[in-house]
Amino acid sequence: MKIKNSCENIKNINADCEIIITDNVSKKDKRDLKLLNFDGGSEEIAFLPHLNKIYVGVDEKSANEVRIATAIAIKKVKQIGYKSVKIECENEEHLGAMAEGLKFGIYEFDKYKSTKSKLKIKEVIISTKSKKASNVLEEAVIISSAVNFAKDIVNSIPQDINPQTLAEIAEKEAKGLVDTTCEVYDEKYLQNEGMNAFYAVGRASVNQPRLIHLTYKPKNATKKLVLVGKGLTYDSGGLSLKPSDSMVTMKLDKSGGVAVLAIIKAIAKLKLPIEVHSIIGAAENMVAGNSFKPDDVLVAKNGTTIEVRNTDAEGRLVLADCLCYAQDLKPDVLIDIATLTGACVVALGEYTFGVMGNSSRLKHSMVLTANRCGELSSSLPFNNFLKKHIDSDIADVCNIGKSRYGGAITAGMFLDRFIKKENKDKWLHLDIAGPAYQESEWGYNQIGATGASVKSIIEFAKKMI
């Protein structure tokens, strides 16, 4: 599906159908729309087959509403089977959102279906007066393609995506990108480097863990952004085994790792003048005779000893070592992304990711950036009382909190134990456990993976320049 811009008046553009985004029911077609009970509210849709028009409503004409409306409308176009579509964009600020909505609306994951649906839509023509239209559209297509790329990998099953195959995907991607390289380290490396927390989580699986390190280093780089992603290609819970119902969907636990891969891909394609490192802690949390156990004490890369009381709190163990590794790169900004806790979903609901760290300025900037690109996020505050909840009687720190309350924050404060003094204000932790994966549609998202945080971090990187 090609997305093109045209400075022609919408009336003079030839296409099989037209999408009309409206926040009120205008005089035109009013009677038809009334009959269909269409009031122009958010997420409402009306198809007028005799006029080849599709109306979609928005509460207000904001970029975020336009993105969702466009996605809903193009999905309808796809179902009907039109080959070409035209749509007017009155506000040039909404152009990027419109293109993203188009790409998100047609996204479908049918890798495991025996019959694949073929997309009939060949082109979408956006009527706009904007002089920057081609550039804006090109950028929006790169970003939304990266989000859809992340969805494809996260939706893929653990049988296909394990630490090794994820590493192969990363290597292949790096080869196709400018100024980008990829190093993959195996289980022996983890042992030799003292990354015992990470290794303990992954060692019981037949698919041994991998540390994947992608680097995008353009000559004109001004800043260094280091990203760390939780890449649990499966989380069974380990010996603290998850109940069957909670285990279903745990292929999602690689979402943070896949996000950092998608982000570096988009940044390299956009040729942003910023050095980016994406570090993926890829492992499978499985059960075997050599599983790590509740009661074990693990020594992380920086020498910190960790009492394990629950092997299902494994993401923070992988991240602890990856964050130590990441800080050797001397980042200007360090961000980890993880489907870390169910508690974050309880705290914020399933559509919002949690933002944690020690710098109010950085947290605030992240929340604002996310909101601007249509992702929901909220800051969760650390405090000294919860900090005591992860004290251990036998080791330096414990991998779970004393009570179940504030679980997203105690997990964030656990990670904070591995952040060096000089990096405290440079670090952000994003808990994307809620929005990374949903078993029902919402906004512009289909069922399954969403590519949560990818758009926000790309936008954040642009702001760093």
> Residues with catalytic annotation?
242, 316
- Residue 100 in contact with ligand BES, rule: CB under 6 A: no
Shortest distance, CB of residue 185 to ligand BES, whole angstroms? 22
Closest CA to 283 of 228, 338, 201, 339: 201
Q: From the list Zn ion, ligand BES, none, which binds 310 (C-beta under 5 to 8 Å, kind-based)?
A: ligand BES
Name 210's bridge partners. 282
**342 is an interface residue for ligand BES by CB under 6 A:** yes
**HSE (CB half, 13 Å, CA atoms) of 327?**
21
Name the residue with the smallest CB distance to ligand BES: 342
CB of 310 to ligand BES, least distance (A): 4
Q: Which of 127, 130, 341, 453 binds ligand BES (CB under 6 A)?
A: 341
Relative to beta strand 397-398, strand 376-379 is unpaired
> Near ligand BES by CB under 6 A, which window of 57-65, 95-103, 337-345, 374-382?
337-345
Size of the site for Zn ion (CB under 5 A): 6
Q: The tokens of 173 are what?
A: 């991607």
Residue 154, SS3? helix
Site for ligand BES in 414-433 (CB under 6 A): 433
Q: Considering the rule CB under 5 A, would residue 257 count as an interface residue with Zn ion?
A: no
DSSP state letters, 312-377: T--HHHHHHHHHHHHHTT--SEEEEEE---HHHHHHH-TTEEEEEES-HHHHHHHHHHHHHTT-EE
311: partner contacted, choices ligand BES, Zn ion, none (Cβ within 5-8 A by kind) = none
Residue 235 within binding range of Zn ion, rule CB under 5 A = yes
70 binds ligand BES (CB under 6 A): no
The angle formed by the CA atoms of residues 190, 194 and 195, to the nearest 5 degrees, is 50
Beta strand pairing call for 180-185 and 210-216: antiparallel
Instruction: Decide whether 326 or 400 has the Cβ nearer to ligand BES.
Output: 400
Total Cβ atoms within 10 A of residue 121: 21
385 sits in which H/E element: helix 384-387
| SS3 (DSSP) at 279 | strand
369 binds, among ligand BES, Zn ion, none (CB under 5 to 8 A by kind): none
Query: Between β-strands 84-88 and 123-127, what pairing exists: parallel, antiparallel or unpaired?
Result: parallel
Residue 57 sits in the site that holds ligand BES (CB under 6 A): no
Q: Of the two residues 38 and 353, which places its CB atom closer to ligand BES in the complex? A: 353
Q: Does 284 bind Zn ion (CB under 5 A)?
A: no
Compose the 181-220 pattern: x for residues touching ligand BES by CB under 6 A, - for all others: ----------------------------------------
Number of residues that bind ligand BES (CB under 6 A): 16
Question: Could you tell me which of 74, 137, 132 has the C-alpha nearest to residue 108?
Answer: 74
Q: Judged by CB under 5 A, does residue 321 bind Zn ion?
A: no
Nearer to ligand BES, 153 or 340 (CB): 340
Phi-psi group of 452: left, alpha or beta (phi > 0 → left; psi -120 to 50 → alpha; rest → beta): beta
Kindly give the residue spans of alpha helices, DSSP state H, lying in 89-186: 95-105, 133-155, 163-175
Give the nearest distance from C-beta 442 to ligand BES in angstroms: 15
- Cα–Cα dist 436/44, whole Å: 25
Positions touching ligand BES (CB under 6 A) are 235, 252-253, 310, 312-315, 339-343, 400, 407, 433
Positions in the binding site for Zn ion (CB under 5 A): 232, 235, 253, 312, 314-315
